[in-house]
Structure 1
C-alpha cells in the first residue's frame, strides 16, 4: 500500500514539475524570442548603402568616379495569365521611352525573378544614365506598378590610361557576396587592380535607419539611424599626366614601363602595354570584345608590371657582380674575353663574337661582357649567386599594393631538385649568370633592385601611402655598390657603353641594357642572325633599367619592350624622354 502511494505521489510530482517548467518557459524564457518577433512586426530596418569612393592621382585628377543614374523596378506577382496584359503594358511603356531595350528580354528578366515568395519590386534595368532618364522620370514614376530608384555606375574617365593599375569593378558573384556582405546590397565589387586591393576602403561602411511602423506598414517614428561612411576616397601616387605621356611615346609597342621614387618606393607611373578601357567591364563586356582581347598575342589582360615573367638578360648583371664581390672575388678581378668559353661539349658565346679583351667589373657592366660573368659564376657557383639575388628581391613578391603579384624564379640547385627532380649542371650556372635559362623576373622586381643599387636601400613599391614601409638596409657592404654605379654610368656615356648612342637627355643617367632571348641560338649557327631578320615573336625582349640623376639618385625608370631587340637601341630613347619629362614637371631639380 505504501509503495503504491509513493508511486502516485511521484507521478503527481512529475506532472506538476513538468507543468511548472512549461509555464516558466512560456512566460519567461520565450519572452525574448517573442519580443524579437514583435519588434520585427513593427520595426523596419532600411539599409543605407554608401557611395563607392573616388580614386584620384597625386594631383587630384579623377581616375575612378561614380556616374549618377536610375534603376527601373516592376511590382511583383504579375507573371500569371491574369496579369499578363498589365505586365506587357508596363514593359511596352518602358520600351517606348527607351527603345534600345528589347521587350522579350525584359519580360524574361522579370519572370526569372518573379515568384509567390518574393514581395519586393523586381529590377529589370539596372542603370540608365541621369541625362538619358531625367526627361522620362515623371512619366514612369507616376505609375504605381513601376518603381524608380537612384543608382550609380563606376566610370573611368581616363579610359585605357593606367587601366591595369586602377582595375575595375564588376557584378558581385555568389562567392563575392559570401565573403563580402555589403556587395549583396550594392551589387558590385572590385575585381582587379586597386579597385580590388582597396575594395574594403572604397566600398565604405553600411548605414541604416530603424523605423517604427503601424499595421499598414506606414512610418510612425525613426527609432535609430546611422549614416553610411563618406571617407571612402583614396589618393594614389600616380601622376596620370606623366602616364599619358608615356603611353604616347610607347604607342604601337608591347611591354611595360615603371617610374618609381628610388628613395621611398612611390610609383609615379606604371604602364602595361597594350592597355584596355576599364569601362567595358563596368558596363558589361560583350562576347566579341572578350574574345578579341583574349586572343590577342600581346596579352592586353596581363598586368605585365607584376604578372609579366621575363628572362632579365643583362639587366641582372649588377646583381650577379654584387654576388661576386660578396663572395670574395676581389674588385680587381679580370678575365680575358675571347668571345666564348667551352664547358664540356658546349660552347658558351659572348654576345661580341670577337671578344672584349681584358675585362674587369666596370667594363663588364659598361660593355655587358658575358664572358666575365661566365667565368666569375664558375668561381662561386649558383647557390651563392641565388643567395645574393634573394636579398635583392628576386624570386619574391615586392609587396606592391596589387593583387596576385608573381614571384618570378631565382633558381638554384635545391629549386631544380624540387621542381624537376634533376641535378643542376654547370652550364646552367653560366647562362643564369647573364639572366637567361630558368631565371624569370617581373619588371617591378627589376625597378626595385635598381633602386637599391642607386640608394643602398631596398624600398617597398606602393601606390597608396597607407602601405608605405621604411626601405630595408641589406647586409651588403655599401662600398661594393660604387663599382656597379660607375659601370652603369659608363653604359650611358663611355664610348663602347651599350646605351651610349641612345641615351640623350639633359639629365645624367646611369643605366643597364639587356637583350633577353626568346628562342635559343643553335650551336651550329656561327654568325648570329640579326634581330631585324627574326620573326617578330622570335625577337628578343629589350630591357633598360636606369636611375637618375647620377650624383643624387631620385628616380628609377625601367622599360621592357617585348620583342624589341637590343635594349639600348629599343628602350634608351624612351627612358631619356621620360627623364626629360620628369625634369619639366619639376620632379627632378638637378641635372647631375
Structure 2
C-alpha cells in the first residue's frame, strides 16, 4: 500500500512537470515571442500634418508653418549634462525660458523611458536654419521637423475659422490622435471639423538593438489628413470687414439657393495666432472684459431681441389663425392701452389705418399689438418655432445657441408664472424675452425669399469631394400662397416712399427686398411722453440696429443680414451697409448684371 502511494506521488509530480513544460514551450510561446519582438521591434506613431483651411478659390486661411522641434536624451536629470545642453540652447535662442524647459524635462523623464524628451515643440524655420548644423552635432540633442498652425490674415474671419490650442488630458481621452499631434481645434471650423483636419496618425515599425539604436525600418504607414475648402470668398470677406469698420455686431451674406455663406463676420474680431501656443493673461483679460465682447461668436452665440425683423413671421401666424386676413386693418394712433399700460408704436403720431402690407412696410407696432391680442400667443409661438426661431439652424459652427421664443409653456417652466397679454404684445414686435441669433434671422429671410428651408453652411468641399446640403419644405400649401404678398411688403420696405428703408436704399444698383428692425435694450418709462432720440442716448442704452434683406427681388439669390449693436435705427445704420454689400456682389459677378438698375432708374430713385 505504501509503495502505491509513493508511485502515485511520483507519477503526479511527473504529470505536473510535463504539463508545465507543455505550457512554457507551446502555450506561452506566442506571449514570449511578443515580448521578444517588443524588445527588438519598436513602433513609432507619425503625427499627421493638419489639413489646410482654404477659401472658395483655394486661397489659404489656415496653414502649417514649418519649423523644428528640439528633444534631449533621457536620464540626464541628475547630471550636469542637462544644464550644459540647456545653457547652450539659451545662448543660441535668447528668449528661451530655461527654468521651464528643465522643469518640463524632469517631469517627463522616467527610468523606463528610452525616447528623447521633447522640450521645445517649435522654433521657426528661419531662426533654426543657421543653428541646425551645430545642434545636430550634439549627441544629446535631437532636432526634428515640426509644424505650427498659422493664420496668415490674423484676425480676418476669426470667429469662423477658429483656432487650435494645446491638447489636455481630456482631449487625449476623447481623441487618442491628440496625444501625437498635441493640438486640437478649440473654436470655429477648426473645432467643428477637427477630426477631418487632424486626420489619422501614421505608423512606423523599426528594428532596434540593445542600445535602442535603429537598425532597419520594417513597416511604414503614412499619416492622412484632408484639406477643407470653405464657401467664403477671401476678397469679399476683406470687403465686409472694411465696411463694418469699428462697429460691433454681425453680418451674414448667404446664398439662398443652397445656404452657402460667402462672407460673414462677428465684430470686433481678434488675432487667432496667439492662441496656438497660449495667449497671455493680459491679452485674455482685455478680450473678455471688452464691452463689445470680441471673443463671442455673435453669428451663433449672440442673442438679441429681433425687433421688427420677425414681423413677417408673425404676420404669417396671423394668417394661419384664420382670424385675420391680409385685408384686416387696424387704426394706429401711436399707442395702445392694455391693463393700464401704454404700448407705444415707434411712430408716436400714429400711422393711421394699417393693413398687413402697410404694417410691414412701415413697421407699425400697433397693428401687431392688436393682431396678436386677437389670435393669442398659443397661435404665434408654434409658427415662430417652425420658421426657425428657438431652433438650431444646423450651421457648421460649434456650440450654436437656440435663443428663446417666449410662450405660455416656456414661462411656466422657466419662472413658474402665468402668461400675461402684455407679453403677447411684446413678443409680436420681437421684444420682451424674445431672443434670436443673426444666423436664425438670415436663414428665416432665405425661407421667405425661396419658400425652402436651407441649412446655412461654410463647408464647400473636403479634399476633392464637394459637400452636399439638402433644402426642405417648411411652409404649408396655404402659407406658400401668402408668401408673394409677404415678399411684396418687403419689397415696399426698400422701394416705396413710405418704406422704413426707402431713403437708405437709393444708391442700390439692383432691386432689394428688406425689413428693418430696431431692438430696444432698455425699457422706456411710462412717465416719458416722448422717447429720447437714439443718438442722444448713452451708447449701451441705444437700440440694436437690424436689417435683413434679399436680392435680386425678381429672382432671389443672396440674403444679407446685419445687426449693429447699439446702432439705433436699423435702416439708418445698417441700410447703407447692406447696399454696399449688394453693389459689391454685382461688381464681383455673384449677381448677374442683368439685374442691375440702369443709371436713369437709380437717379429717379434718389429723387
TM range, normalised to the smaller chain?
A: over 0.9
- How far residue 35 of structure 1 moved from its aligned partner, in angstroms, is 1.7
> Alignment partner of 1:314: what SS?
helix
Q: Which residue of 2 aligns with 1:266?
A: 260
Distance in 1, matches of 2:396 and 2:12, equals 68
Match of 1:75 among 73, 87, 93: 73
* In the alignment, structure 1 residue 537 sits paired with structure 2 residue 537: no
Is 1:554 the counterpart of 2:548 in the alignment?
no
Equivalent residue for 2:169? 174
Indicate whether 1:520 and 2:523 are aligned.
Answer: yes
Q: Tell me the residue number matched to 1:483.
A: 485
TM-score w.r.t. length of structure 2: 0.93
Q: Equivalents in 1 of 2:238, 2:393: separation in Å?
A: 25
Provide the C-alpha distance between the structure 1 equivalents of 2:236 and 2:344, rounded to a whole number of angstroms: 40
Instruction: Write out aligned runs for 1:265-304 (5 A).
Output: 265-304=259-298
1:542 & 1:164 partners in 2: Cα distance? 21
SS of match in other structure, 1:482? helix
Q: Deviations over 1:483-522 (max 9, x none)?
A: 1111111111111211111112101110000000000111
C-alpha contact (below 8 Å) 1:541/1:560 kept by paired residues: yes
Q: 2:39 corresponds to which residue?
A: 41
Deviation at 1:20, TM superposition (A): 4.6
- Aligned equivalent of 2:497: 495
Q: Secondary structure at the match of 2:563?
A: strand
Closer, same or farther in 2 for the Cα pair 1:22/1:342, shift >3 Å? Answer: same
Match of 1:587 among 585, 590, 598: 590
Residue of structure 1 in register with 2:603 after alignment: none
State whether structure 2 residue 569 is matched by structure 1 residue 566: yes
Query: Which residue is 2:178 aligned to?
Result: 183
Q: Which runs of 5+ in 2 are unaligned?
A: 462-466, 598-607
Aligned residue pair count: 586
| Among 298, 308, 320, the residue aligned to 2:314 | 320
Which residue does 2:578 correspond to in 1?
Answer: 575
For the residue of structure 1 that corresponds to 2:131, the secondary structure is helix
1:173-208, Cα deviation, whole Å (9 max, x unpaired): 110011111111121111111101111111111111
One of 133, 137, 161 as aligned partner of 2:128:
133
Deviation at 1:30, TM superposition (A): 1.8
Counterparts of residues 138-177 of structure 1 (less than 5 Å): 138-177=133-172
3-state SS, counterpart of residue 149 of structure 2? strand
Instruction: Give the Cα separation in 2 of the matches to 1:221 and 1:281.
Output: 40
- Pick from 117, 120, 123 the counterpart of residue 118 of structure 2: 123
> For residues 43 and 24 of structure 1, what CA distance do their matches in structure 2 show?
27
Decide whether the 8 Å contact of 2:202 with 2:223 is kept in 1: yes
Which residue number in structure 2 is paired with residue 469 of structure 1?
A: 469
Shift of 1:24: 3.6
User: How far off is 1:7 after superposition?
Assistant: 8.2
Determine if contact 2:192/2:396 at 8 Å carries over to the other structure: yes
State the match for 1:257 in structure 2. 251
CA RMSD, aligned part only?
Answer: 1.8
Deviation string, structure 1 residues 72-111 (Cα, Å, up to 9, x no partner): 122222222xx22x33322222111111224434333333
2:84 aligned residue (82, 89, 93):
89
> Does 1:309 find its partner at 2:303?
yes
Cα deviations by residue, 1:364-404 (Å, 9 ceiling, x for unpaired): 01100001111111121112111111111110110111100
3-state SS of 1:501 partner: helix
Contact 2:69 2:146 in 1 (8 A): yes
SS at match of 2:504: coil
Q: How does 1:361-372 map to 2 (within 5 A)?
A: 361-372=356-367
Q: Following the alignment from structure 1 to structure 2, what is the Cα–Cα distance between the partners of residues 234 and 549?
A: 30
Secondary structure of the 2:62 match is strand
For residues 217 and 273 of structure 2, the distance between their equivalents in structure 1, rounded to whole angstroms, comes to 40
Cα distance per residue 1:199-256 (max 9 Å; x no partner): 11111111112223344444444332211115x1010101121111111111110000
Match of 2:219 among 221, 224, 246: 224
TM-score (norm 1): 0.95
SS in 2 for 1:385: helix
Aligned with 1:161: secondary structure? Answer: coil
Q: Output the CA distance in 1 between the equivalents of 2:233 and 2:182.
A: 31
Q: Write the distance in 1 (CA, Å) between the matches of 2:302 and 2:4.
A: 87
